[in-house]
Every structure is written in C-alpha cells, then in structure tokens.
Chain A
Amino acid sequence: MSGPALPKLTLAYYPGCSQTGTAAEYDRSSRACCAALGVELVDVPDWTCCGSTPAHTVDHFLAGALAARNLLQAELAGFDRVTTPCPSCLAALRTASHHLAEKAPAENGAPQDSGPNYRTEVERLLDRPAPLRASAVSVLQVLTEDVGLEAMTSAVTRPLTGLRVAPYYGCIMNRPPGLMQFDDPENPTAMDRVLTACGATVVDYPFKTECCGAAFGMPRLDIMQRLSARLLDMAASCGADAIVVACPLCQMNLDLRRGQVNAKAGTSHTMPVPYFTQLLGLALGLPESGLGLDKLVLPLGPALEAARAREDKRAALAQAELAARAARKNGAPANGNGPKENTPCA
C-alpha cells in the first residue's frame, strides 16, 4: 500500500465515563482505528470524571478542578497532549486549560475586576498546583490532522462504496470556535472528509451542529424527543442510510432512545447510528469484533448490505452499458441506459 507514511505518535487518552458503559463501542473503535493508523494511546492514569455539563452548571471552578485534575494526571505522566472521543469531556478539558492559561480576566470589554482568579480558585479545590501545559483535542482532530486524510485513504482496504451517510457532529464538537479551534463552527467538514476517505457518500446534511437534546433524556424526555426527531427526519429526507456521530450522548439519544423518539413523533425511523470510528474501522479492514458493532441497538448490517447490493447493481449496469457501447461500435444493437445518480439532500 503506497501513500504517505503513517505517523508514529503517542498521546494520552482520556476515555470519559460513558466509554466504560453506554459508549463502549466508541471507545473500542477509536482505540482500534488509532492503533491501525499509527497513533499510540496511553490512558491517563487514574483518570476521573471531568464533570461534563452538570459540573459547569453548578460552578465553573468545580468544573475546572474536576477537569484540571485529569490534565494534571496527563502532565505528570509526561504528556502535553490529551485526546478524547467525547466532545463534552473535550469541552470541559479545553475550558480548563484555556482559562488556566489566561492572564487577564476580561473578555470583550467586561469589567476588569472580573471576580476571583481562575487558577487560584481551581488550585484551592484541587489542593495542588494546576496543570500548566496539557491540553486536549478530539480523536477526530487527531485523525484528520496528525494522521491526515491522504494516509487514511491509502490505508482503506474495504471502501464503504454506496453507503449514504449524514455526518452529525453534535452541538459542541466545534463550538464555540474560539474555544474548540477546530473546523468550521457552522459547516464542519472533518468527519465528512473522513467518511469520504472511507468510500462512503456523504449527503449534504444541514443539521450538522443542531443539538440532539443532550442530557435531557432523563429529566426532560419531551425536549430530547423533539430535538432528536428533527435530526432523524432531516437525515431521512436527505436520503441517508445512516446517521454518523462522534458523541456518546448524541449516539444514545438517536440510537438507544430511538423507540422513545419514534413513539413521540409517530415515526418509524430505522436508520442506524454508528460512530464514525466504527465506519472507519470497517473501511480499514479491521476485525468487526474489535469495533463494537454488536453494541449498536439499531443494527448497521442491513444498511451496509443494502448499500452493497445497490452498488453491485449499479456496477453491473455500468458494465452492461460499456459492453453495449462497445457492441454498438461494432454494429450490434443498443441495450438500455444506466441508472441516474442519486441526488443529495435538497
């Protein structure tokens, strides 16, 4: 397999709490893809919960301390760069490192006496000096930037040709742009490019960054039902076979909670919700058992088979057309036309 060499890179890896439970397949497939693409992951030793959304809705310094503890653990293990698959963990870690790095408290003209100093307060809760250098990036960013699309494309052995996918990034992976500093906040394309490298057909999905309902599944199920239904309806109207995600919460709302969403909306959407790392793993030819496909509530299999069948049919028709054209050149009668290409979402 010729192409750019794979990097030999070692990063700290912060799984996040859901990776040990409801998002185990994301963890498994992320690790598998990274290993296959030259990225060695070393788990942050003795990692603990980053606090996610609940912590920062209670207190910003508590959230900072919980996140900073993990950055500190990474730093102590000798790593300045931490990667994590979960956007919420990513936001928590980046917010902490961002504010710890700040000297001046004022942003955009806010009063200079902006209250207590972030580092001081976080250190008070940690009872240790806060980390200085470590910061976090998403697994998606590592794959697109450190590994690179060229290397990824060269490593693909089983392209997912014919599979139409709606790339759904979730609300906080790329927002706010000043904090996340990765890809375009209105129309991100990193996952699109990874999926294209996998050979899939990416549909033009307008709700790439619309919120799915986040953690409201438990306290306000009605809100989550409404928001996730919107996402599914749009993916369906775009002609997607699958909606591809990069966030454990999005995945849970769209997959595990599919029954609840369909029930409220009166719909019967059956499209699967694989993690992008699962599709990437398949395209790289990695063993399926290592990608956690069996953990997807809505099975991926049927969509893959349907795509394969469609693709086979298209290929067969294209062959027939070529043969007919050649025959016509030699004087034999014509045979029929190939099918029209599917148009992306309008």
Chain B
Amino acid sequence: MRIGVMVCHCGNNIAATVDVEAVAAAAREFPDVVFATDHMYACSDPGQGTIEQTIRSLKLDGVVVASCSPRMHEVTFRRAVERAGLNRYMFEMANIREHVAWISLDRKRNTEKATDLVRMAVEKLRHNRPLTAKSFEVQKRVLIIGAGVAGIQAALDCAEGGLDVILVERRQSIGGVMSKLDKTFPTVDCSVCVLGPKMVDVGQHPRITLHALSEVEELSGYVGNFEVKVRKKAPFVDWTKCTGCGACLEKCPSRKVPDSHNEGICTTTAITIPFPQAIPKRAAIDPTVCLHFTKGKCGVCKKVCPADAIDYDMQDEIITEKVGAVIAATGLDLFDHRKCGEYGGGRYPDVITSLQYERMLSASGPTAGHIKRPSDGAEPKTVVFIACVGSRDRSVDRPYCSNFCCMYTAKQAILTRDHIPDSRAYVFYMDIRATGKGYEEFVRRAQEEYEVQYIRGRVAQIHPTTGPDGNQLMVRGADTLLGVQVEIRADLVVLAVGAESAHGAPALAEKLRISYDAYGFFLESHPKLRPVETNTVGVFLAGACQAPKDIPASVAQASAAAGKVLALLSKDKLESDPQIAQVQTIRCIGCGKCERTCPFGAIRMRELRDGSKRAEVVETVCQGCGICSVTCPVRAIQLAHFTDSQLLAEVNALCRTWDETTES
C-alpha cells in the first residue's frame, strides 16, 4: 500500500502545543507510508489541493490527515480524496486537536501522543477496504403527526413543495392550542381568524390527506421508505355523509360532558363538533359518555340526522401509508395546577388556568366573550394573575421556563381592561421574559398604558374570604422589591400554567425511535445547529413538541422542518451510508441475539433453503451503531469500516508502541 500523511498546524491551534513537524517526520517511518508532510491549514483550498495532487503524483492508495475532530472535517477530506480518484473510505483522520493539542500544554507528551494517534490511523488505514454506498428510491410523501399551527404550517409548506402529505391529528379537529386562544401577542390578532384560513387550506389542499381523530399506531422502515400504520378512531358518524349541520348536538340528551375544547369551564353534549371553525367540520360521538353506548338507550341523533350519517356500529380502522419522511409536531399540554395546594389545589372555582380564561375571553367561547366568575357568574373587578405556575419550579419537577407565559399574561391583563374598563389587574411575577420582536414593548404597554400592576414576588396562599364586595379570594403574596407581604382581595385568580410535553409524547417517541428528555420533549440532533432534525434519519421535529415555544417560533420551525424534508426528498434516490453492519452468513448460527438487540429494527432473520435461520441486515435502516457486532457470540456480524480486525489493528499499534518505549 502507498499511504500519504498530512499533519496539520491548524494555525496555532495544534502547532502551539504539538511539534507537528516531528510528528510528520515520525510518520515517514511508519509501514507503507511513502509521503508525510505538515501543513498550516489542511482543510483550506491549498491544503486540499496538496492532498489531491500528492495522491495523483505519488499514486497513493490512502491518506491520513492528522488534524481536528472528524466531526469537523471528515466529510471535507473524504470529498477531497474522492475527487483525486480514491474511494472516500480509504481515508483516516487522527484527531490531534480536540484530543491532544487542546487538552494539555505539555508539548513533549502531546507530540508523543499525536505520533501514537497517527500510527494508529495508519494501521487502521492499512486494513481499510473501499466501500460503496447503495442508492435506493424514495417515497415523495411525508407523514406529519399533529395538526396544531406547527403541523399545519409544515403540511402546507410540504404540499406546496410538491410532496403528498399525510396529516394525522388525534383530536377531532385540527388547530391545536392556537385554536383555543382568543388573541395572540404581541399584535392582539384574533387567533382563530389568522389560523382559520390556514386550517381551511389544509382541509382543501389536494396534496394533503387529513386523518383527524387518528393516531399513529406503528412506524417501521427507514428514511425514504417508512411504513406507517394509522389508527382512525371511530367517530360513529360517517364523515362522508355528515355535513356538520349540528342538528344532532341540539337534540343530544347527554349534556353534562366536560367540554375539553373549552378547558372544562362548560359542558357539552356526547355528540359534538368541537368549535364552529373546526376542520373537519364533522360530528363525533364520545362513547364513554354517550347514553347509547353506556346504557344501551337513546338513538336521538340517529333519528334527527338529515344526512343519515350516524352509525353506531363503526369500528376503528387501521390504514397503512408509505412515506419518505416524518415530521413530529405534537405540541404541548399544560401543567396541572391541582398539584399546587397553595393556590387551592383545584378546590376553588374562581381560581382558573390561563387557557380557561382564554376561552372566557373568546367571543366564540361559552360566555360569548364576557368574563364571568365561575362561582356566581358575576363580572370580576379585581383579577390577579400569578406567573410561573409549574415553571421554574424544582419542587414540582418543572425546573424549566415555559417561554410564553410572561407574554400571554401581559396579553390577558390587557384584554381584561379592554373587556372590563373599570377593572384592575395585578400580576405576581419573578422575572419578565419578553425576548421576541415587539415583546418588551408589549409588556411595557400593559404596565404603562393599561395600568396593570406588576408585583415582583410569589403567592404563598389563596383562600376564600367574604368582604364588602361579596365572596372574594384573599391572595397573599410578597413584593420582594419593597420587602413586604402583599394581600389582595381578588374576584378572580388566573394561573399562568406552564407547558408540558403533550400527553403520550414519550410513547410516540418510542414508536418513532427518537429520543426524548426527562420531561417528554423530543430531542433535537444539535441544540444550536440542528434544531429540527432528530438523531433518527428521516424524522424531523416542529413546534412545541421539541421545547415550549410561541407561535412565531413554532411556525418558523415548521417551515424549517418542511425545508429539510423537501431537501431530503428532492432527489429521486438517496444514498445509504455503507458504514453498516454486514453478516457473514456462513458463520452465523441463527441465534437471533443481534435481531433482538438492534435498537433500529435493522436486522431480520431470514430462512435459508434448508430451513435454518440466518441474520440479515436491512441496509437502509442500519445506523451503524455496532451493538450487533458486540452482541454476536460468534463474530458473524461486523460493522463495515469498524471491523474487529481494523479496530484491533489500532489497539496493537498503540500497545506495541508502549512496549517499545524505553522510558517508563
């Protein structure tokens, strides 16, 4: 073999603490090395140029570059050697920057270590083989899970980009949390008015297939060729016939069902259309509260339906779709404040959540936009807002900040004054986070223009009290700026509850084989540079499922995810990484351990003609983690480019060096 070695100075980054010339000189003596040099910046155009020229002029078979981390420039150098006519896997990198130069100031030791690393790389390269990527066809279709504003935006962008979209939403209507809001900050736009047109577009777009009241049952396959099973739950109403006229809602006798779209502040019927702007505008029956299903009586809706759409015998349906990519946009749920005993633990009807208040503020909500106390329907004059309920709070295991509560609280305080001009609003806060465009100005408006009284401190207790103004709530908090306790008699208390991951998110993550953190938020590939990708190729993230965020950020992230998907599926074929596991069938004993340990489901047991089973790797699914290689009891499965021989060659190179060292 003819190997060339280049040792990089990386300016002063490496050269300051490593004698790069000495390393190059030592490398010249290594077996099969015919050329070794040092260079100021190997990754630069001249540096790459030198590599390419040397490969051609000296007819090299392989190249070692000793420089930075492969995560920085492995791709760069592989491309360079490929341009010069070599297979890109006949290239090795020795990391003498992050692993040597940047961790010690001892020049002598560093140079020795760098020399060892180059020796190891050379040995590995001597055992490398050329590898060829395979290409495979892709489905130009995308599955989007969740149809809140992020899912909706991603669906529209992908559809406009020419992809077919399968949009799955577990609720009866799309729209998510944004469809429950009255107004949005900082513009105080009507939420459903700006979301509505997008929802309609989704419902009407020829490329978007919407499955509402559905959930992902199973996802299998690999990037470009996923297979997803979706469970369409039975609405007990034939949606091809239902026109959304609402006749059934009017007659349904089961009227005490807590209305989940209205956050439980009012009741609804067992057969329901969640809200007037719902897409799809179709009725569905909740069998857990429907008299027909629970008691066997009643068939009123079936009788009154002019389209004869009611079908009590409907069953869930499982459909299968093939898609090339997946975007998870499952959004968020809110913290359950009943854990907080100091705010009444859910016992006081006039202590409500921000989203419940939002439904009250909404003109299409149960109170037609009139703010009314749940206890007696009276209009409140003093409204107290409490920030950070279930956020920034280690004692309830929610240490993070929920991102948008400061803003929505300011908005709600402003709206309170709009709805009730002689009202007074107070906000108990710890800090104000108003980092978006126009956000700080918005919060200042609340304080300066709308006379919302902000009080810096938390609330220790809320209890009912009677006073000259009737039944009120005594709110006892602190003003830490003054250093005093503060008592306010409130008519209504609104808790700014924090964000949590959507219920069931971890279970979905397991199905998608993506990672999630301790709070159920899905993990991005890199927090700074890859916010919409996951570590599973082909699965992307959009919106609050990744971390609490507001509408502009969710929309931006959704478009970003759509962009990534469009780029991924813009080619007709994708290349698979050849650094994957390979089975030597003749050694395989068919024990199946590799199949069981593979985290990606990339190994199948195949039956041979004689009836025995042998392991087989699905090349496009394998992520090259190597767990199978370690598990196999007979060494039948090896990871290409990281075979046992290659790795042991490196180990031998290192240990042999130590043996030969005369110093202790």
Contact = CB atoms under 8 A, between A and B. Distances in A.
Interface of A: 108, 184-187, 204, 206-207, 237, 345-346
B465 interface: yes
B466 A187 contact: no
A184 B464 contact: no
Contacts of A186: 341-342, 345, 461
The SS class assigned to the B binding surface is: strand
A184 B466 CA distance: 25
A345 B464 contact: yes
B341 A187 contact: yes
Interface in B322-347: 341-342, 345, 347
B345 A187 contact: yes
A186 B460 CA distance: 10
B471 interface: yes
Contacts of B466: 237, 346
B134 interface: no
A185 B341 contact: yes
Nearest to A344: B464
Interface string B452-477: 00000000010111100001001000
Contact of A206 (B394, B463, B471): B463
Interface in B82-101: none
A206 B342 contact: no
The 8 closest A-B pairs by CB, nearest first: A186-B341, A206-B463, A346-B466, A346-B471, A186-B342, A187-B341, A346-B464, A184-B341
Nearest to A207: B463
Interface residues of B, number: 12
B464 A206 contact: yes
B91 to A, nearest CB: 46
A346 B347 CA distance: 13
A192 B463 CA distance: 17
A185 B460 CA distance: 13
13 contacts: A186-B341, A186-B342, A186-B345, A186-B461, A187-B341, A204-B464, A206-B461, A206-B464, A206-B465, A206-B474, A237-B466, A346-B464, A346-B466
A223 to B, nearest CB: 15
Contacts of A204: 464
A186 B464 CA distance: 14
Contacts of A346: 464-466, 471
A346 B342 CA distance: 17
Nearest to A185: B341
A186 B466 CA distance: 21
A187 B471 contact: no
Nearest to B467: A346
A250 to B, nearest CB: 18
Contacts of B342: 186
A346 B471 CA distance: 6
Contacts, number: 24
A206 B476 CA distance: 12
B464 A187 contact: no
Contacts of B474: 206
Contacts of A237: 466
Given A108-B394, A186-B342, A346-B464, 5 more contacts: A186-B345, A186-B461, A206-B461, A206-B463, A237-B466
Contacts of B345: 184, 186-187
A268 to B, nearest CB: 20
A237 B464 CA distance: 11
B350 to A, nearest CB: 12
B394 to A, nearest CB: 8
Contact of A187 (B347, B394, B465): B347
Contacts of B394: 108
A346 B341 CA distance: 18
Contacts of A206: 461, 463-465, 474
B483 to A, nearest CB: 19
B477 to A, nearest CB: 15
Contacts of A185: 341
Nearest to A108: B394
A160 to B, nearest CB: 25
Interface in B426-479: 461, 463-466, 471, 474
Contacts of A108: 394
Nearest to B343: A186
A45 B463 CA distance: 44
Contacts of B461: 186, 206
A327 B464 CA distance: 43
A345 B461 CA distance: 17
B362 to A, nearest CB: 30
A271 B342 CA distance: 28
Interface string B199-231: 000000000000000000000000000000000
Most A Cβ at <10 Å: residue of B345, B464, B471: B464
A204 B466 CA distance: 13
Contacts of A345: 464
Contacts of B465: 206, 346
A187 B338 CA distance: 12
Nearest to B460: A186
A155 to B, nearest CB: 30
A59 to B, nearest CB: 28
A165 B463 CA distance: 18
A59 B187 CA distance: 58
A279 to B, nearest CB: 24
A305 to B, nearest CB: 28
A184 B338 CA distance: 12
Q: Which of A204, A206, A207, A345 has the most CB of B within 10 A?
A: A206
Nearest to A210: B461
B338 to A, nearest CB: 11
Contacts of A184: 341, 345
A108 B395 CA distance: 11
A205 to B, nearest CB: 9
A345 B347 CA distance: 14
A226 to B, nearest CB: 13
Nearest to B375: A346
A346 B345 CA distance: 17
Nearest to B466: A346
A203 to B, nearest CB: 11
Contacts of B464: 204, 206, 345-346
A185 B466 CA distance: 24
A346 B464 CA distance: 6
Contacts of B471: 346
B39 to A, nearest CB: 48
Nearest to B347: A187
A204 B463 CA distance: 10
